[in-house]
Amino acid sequence: MTFDLSVFAGSGTEILGGFLMTLLAWISGTALSLALGLAVSLGLVFGPHALAIALRSYVEAIRGTPFLVQLFILYFGGPYIGLTLDPLPAGIVGLAIYGGSYFAEIFRAGFLAIPAGQVEAAALLGLTRRQIVGRIQFPQMMVVILPALVNMVIILSKETTILSIITVPELTFVVKGIGTRTFAFVETLLALALGYWLLVEVTSACGKALEQRVARHLVR
Amino acid sequence: MSAIKVVIHSFPLLLQAAMTTFVLSLVATAIGLVIAALVCALGLSKRRWLARAGAVYVSFFRGVPLLVQLLLIYYFLPFIGIDVPSLVAAVVGLSLCTAAYLAEILRGGLASIPPGQREAGEMLGLAKSQIWRRLLLPQAVRSMLPAIVSEVTLLLKASSLISVIGVAELTRTGQNIAASTYQPLEIYATVGAIYLALNLLLAAGGGMMERRFGLARR
């Protein structure tokens, strides 16, 4: 066998389409899971006891099971309870439910990282609950939890490969298809690995730059 | 067959597969720890290119999605003339990947010990091996244990991906049963519950070990 990169010739559009699909799943999955995670963390920290228990079970169940199994439950099990989704929506919803539980824990830790004295001082000054969360707690905790958020966003970018298993035509699915067609599995998968490596490194560098920017006023 | 009957009927098979998942994860962790120690030693090396090689290893295996790594290893080994069963390819893939994360944990654990301790050991005339065995390692292991346990639980969940290269572990067995019984919801929910139970088991075991090591310090 020889190492032959010409197997990619003529597949440019196909690969670009797969990459755009990966980006679509990653960005929409991340956006939805950030929103879900924030909502869940608010319920965990400020909600009534019963709600907090329900949300805690959701977080623990998702964090204790593999993403692949969650996807199978949603995609293959969903139709039996009247929830029939196409691969892409199922993948995005799956990513949102999965990422939401991890983001919820990160946001919760952020809320707890702000000293209680600040919240009490704000309450004494007559700020409403909403103002305290929106103007005192949230802006400060974002600086603290940004590294953890960036880390989770990177993890989600890697989890999008798993959507290929439920036949979402993202990058891994497309490149595997080219491998099957040309029998050049090693060349195609190696190129794919290098592509993801680059994507993760670039995202990580952007995250570092962002962290430095939001922390620029902090005294070192 | 009703859903509950299906679950009860397939439960022994799933438990057996869960055992495979559990043992595979522990074996991969053990091999991963050995590789991680080597990678960590590379990273701490004074020769710049060796340290660079360690850093590239960690960056590659943490940057590339595990699914792509597993597929690559599965096809790469036969490509260079090594024909192995998919089970071996799976263990190799999981070990190489977890080693990258474990190497970072080892590095952090060693870095957490103040340099004064090593210097004090040297001043007291302890041999290099004694400094490692009696001074550095016991403390490093103590501080690394929680992170290692959490890495094992991550690996246990990640091992579901080896179903893709045909290893009959928990997820793959669940797939087979779901396909033959047409009860995917119940079967996959059961599979998920078993993963959850395995993780709780690991966390409890890790907690016990942490208490033991914590007591040993006094």
A64 and B CB contact within 8 Å = yes
Mean pLDDT by 10 residues, chain A (220 residues): 69 90 96 96 93 95 96 93 93 96 95 91 92 90 92 95 94 92 88 94 93 77
pLDDT surpassing 90 at residue B141: no
The predicted pLDDT at position B135 comes to 85
Helix H or strand E segment including A17: helix A12-46
Any A CB within 8 A of B178 CB: yes
Is any Cβ of chain A less than 8 angstroms from the Cβ of B194?
no
Pair of tokens at residue A142: 């974002």
How is residue B79 annotated by DSSP? Answer: H
The four Cα atoms B105, B110, B111, B115 give a dihedral, to 10 degrees, of 180
Query: pTM to 2 decimals?
Result: 0.90
Provide, as residue numbers in chain A, all residues whose Cβ is less than 8 Å from the Cβ of B60.
193, 197
Specify the pLDDT at position B137.
Answer: 84
For residue B215, what pLDDT is reported?
53
Mean pLDDT on B173-182: 92
Amino acid B218: pLDDT: 46
Q: Which of B64, B171, B183 sits opposite A193 (nearest CB)?
A: B64
As a whole number, the mean pLDDT across chain B is 90
Residue A72 to residue B76, Cβ atoms within 8 A:
no
Closest CB from B158, B175, B185 relative to A81 = B185
Q: State yes or no: pLDDT of B217 exceeds 60.
A: no
CB contact under 8 A, A196 and B79: no
Cβ distance of B59 and A201 shorter than 8 Å: yes
* CA dist A155 → A107, A150, A200, B63 (Å): 17, 9, 9, 9
Structure tokens at B106: 């080892």
For helices A171-182 and B66-79, give the axis angle rounded to 10 degrees: 10
Q: Which range, of A54-58, B7-11, B68-72, B93-97, averages the lowest pLDDT?
A: B7-11
Q: What average pLDDT does range B189-194 have in this prediction?
A: 96
Q: Which of B69, B160, B192 is facing A193, going by the closest CB pair?
A: B69
- Identify the CA nearest to B198 among candidates B208, B206, B186: B206
Question: Could you tell me if A196 lies within 8 Å of chain B, comparing CB atoms?
Answer: yes
